[in-house]
Amino acid sequence: MIQTRRLESGITITLIHQPQATQAAALWRVNAGSLHEPDPWPGLAHLLEHMLFRESEGYRDDERLMRWVPDQGGRLNASTRLCQTAFFFEVPAQALAPGLSRLTDMLAAPRFTPAALMQEAQVIDAEYRLLAQDAATRREAALLALMAGDARLKRLRIGNKTAFGEDPARLRAALTAFHERHYHAGNLHLWLCGPQSLETLEKLACEAAARIRPGVVAPLAINAHTGASGALAQPGFAQLALSFLLPAAVRPALRLLEQCLRSEAPGGLMAALRAQTLIDDATLEADALDDDTLWLRFSFALASDAVNPAHVEALVRQWIAALAALPEDALSPLLRLAEEDVNALAPMDHLRARAFGLPPVEGNALRPLLAALLAQHPTRLWISPEVHGAPVTTQGLTLTTGDFPAAPDDAPPVTPFTPAPHFPPPLAVALPGDSASLAWRPEAVSITLTLEPAPGTLVSDRRGMELLARLRPLCDRARLSGGALRVGTVEGRWRIALCSDEALMMMLVTEMMTYLWEPDDRYSAEAERLAARAQAQEDQAIAVRRLLAQLPRELLMATGGPRAQAWQATLDGGGPLLRDALARRLSDFPFPLVTPKPPRPLPAPHRFTLPANGADSALLLFVPLVASQREAATALQAPFFQHMRVANNIGYVAQCQWHTCAGYEGLLALLQSPHLSPDALLHETTVFFERQGDAWRAVTQKAWVGSVAGEGGEQ
């Protein structure tokens, strides 16, 4: 049940009653972002986001939201966007009221102490230097520069030390003025979600709203246009970005459009572009640009630099036209999947989708959306390491830009798109006489088949990507038939998991064997590209993410046998007839199936290092523990952040949490710093744990340690 209304003060409240939920969430959205900043203070909205988490008049030290939410076992975050900023958290349902009180107080009555202000300015400066090399940040900046009829679209958004200056009094005055101008009742929308009744949620919302001062909305209108084309030099793989400016009213159709875009059914866009070896992936993103305009972006990962992006664009337009020609109910299966995706979101993620992401599908907005797309010439950006051009500066970033490739002389052939999802009838294949090893746990309520590498088997990303490439269409078929087939990495290991009723299970496993044995070199070539792309993206990621990606490989290599490729299969639920039939069908699985065993014991921990890809240094510690130690380890999360990030400003990444990886679990600590070396970070971490009592005093001696030594690290 959902209820939205506008209070007399001007605040809009949206209340979502989820009777089965155990968690609750709150989100305040402020209609003010980086485009609202005064020209002399670029990055001010981002700085304000950081400062609001420091202290407020009502809650300080351990009682403030940043410390309090982790202590409740919850999570929190914030996001500064073009014309909006959002603050949100999720906690156990009974903690919603005290959490909302803290969240509201930090928006209504923040404290901007000079010391905290300059500290956060340093953190943002480090973040700026990090994001200056981020591929997505640079792509977005290049697109906005092509669209800019307004100088604000080219202005620095992240913020940095130069923009903030060295005078805390001036910076505090500017921040206070920005807060007073935009953080008022006329500019705020509150979302609450949880198992509480609508009456209870409304009471909480009204109490929170009463603490927000009144104010008058300042309209925002941005002069932007589409139709320009350009190219951006960037290492890695080739991409095409198509950017549209649309009326905000079409936003409720975006999630359905995303389902249509990513569908792998025959006749859809992805199937056609993959078959022609044009693209390997596609994504859709959207942001509010101003009060009335939505900025929509399609991004396509091109199969190679040789693919002409104009060819892909022409096929995309053909596909949009085919979508627009469909009858009203033709996309109802994809509409159901869109609704399932929203319903599967955790409360906080559900609120984020409604506030600034892809909201639930409402009304009949798809046809107006498609009509607007067809009527507009998009902004086009080709991204490739092969681009040669001149350096330009925009949003504080130096980009090398050039010309968009010319369209091919011959127009691409008309592709007979049939975007309504449809699959051919399933195959009828006799069961083999042999049976594979299949563990069975009949007590489970839902039926799930899990296939994963046996202990000691390390599946390469290239081999895993081929499994994904082969089974991707079957994943769509499973969902459209009421089941779920997932292929990907879980805790750092490749896994195939299938959930459905018994009849669908047998049909899908039969189809799976056909897909896995299909003699088609296209899958091998696609797997090579996908693995290379994943490695390139990992190499360009921030240091802590690279260490986190490497950790499961280190654990698996330490426990793996030479050239082992055995897998294991487990059936949860179902009856003996299903078990026997699946065991026979799985005898056709491409890898030998063995009796499931627990993970092998880990050897003595060791230290691994990765090469630097920037100025930052980073440290990872993983301490294998038993499940009974989880609560004690989780309790260290807030003190670790307070000590590293707030009290000592070690760096802008400071995390300590329970972590499961490659079948092992334990304590994970992550640090990234622009000014300390890995050895210095390890020393600070050792000092922290020594202060936590005897149980943690020698914990770093038992840890697997990963490090990156950046160019800017000091001992």
For residue 373, give both structure tokens: 């797309």
Closest C-alpha among 215, 212, 208 to residue 186: 215
Catalytic residue among 37, 49, 90, 313: 49
Closest C-alpha among 2, 91, 80 to residue 44: 80
For residue 465, give both structure tokens: 């990507």
Token pair 């300015």: residue: 121
Q: Regarding beta strands 85-92 and 75-80, do their DSSP bridges make them parallel or antiparallel, or are they unpaired?
A: antiparallel
Closest C-alpha among 28, 114, 23 to residue 65: 28
Q: Please say if 202 is a catalytic residue.
A: no
CA–CA separation, 568 and 436 (whole Å): 10
Which 3-state string (H, E, C) describes 673-701? ECCECHHHHHHHHHHHHHCCCHHHCCHHH
Side chain identity at residue 591, one-letter code: F
Question: For residue 246, how many C-alpha atoms fall within 13 Å in the half-sphere facing its CB?
Answer: 29
**167: helix, coil or strand?**
coil
Side chain identity at residue 291, one-letter code: D
In sequence order, the 6+-apart residues with CB closer than 8 A to the CB of 158 are: 43, 46, 124, 127, 128, 131, 137, 395, 396
Q: CB neighbours (10 Å) of residue 678?
A: 24
In sequence order, the 6+-apart residues with CB closer than 8 A to the CB of 704 are: 551, 554, 555, 605, 606, 607, 608, 620, 621, 622, 623, 624
Closest C-alpha among 159, 156, 297, 293 to residue 220: 293
User: Buried (b) or exposed (e) across 76-114, using 16+ Cβ within 10 A?
Assistant: bebbbbbbbbbbbbbbebebbbebbbbbbbbbbebbbee
In sequence order, the 6+-apart residues with CB closer than 8 A to the CB of 437 are: 568, 569, 583, 593, 594, 595
CA–CA separation, 283 and 555 (whole Å): 32
Cross-strand partners of 495: 488
Q: What is the DSSP letter of 395?
A: T
The distance of Cα 446 from the centroid of its chain, to the nearest Å, equals 28
Q: What is the DSSP letter of 613?
A: S
C-beta separation of 675 from 713 below 8 A:
yes
Catalytic residues: 49
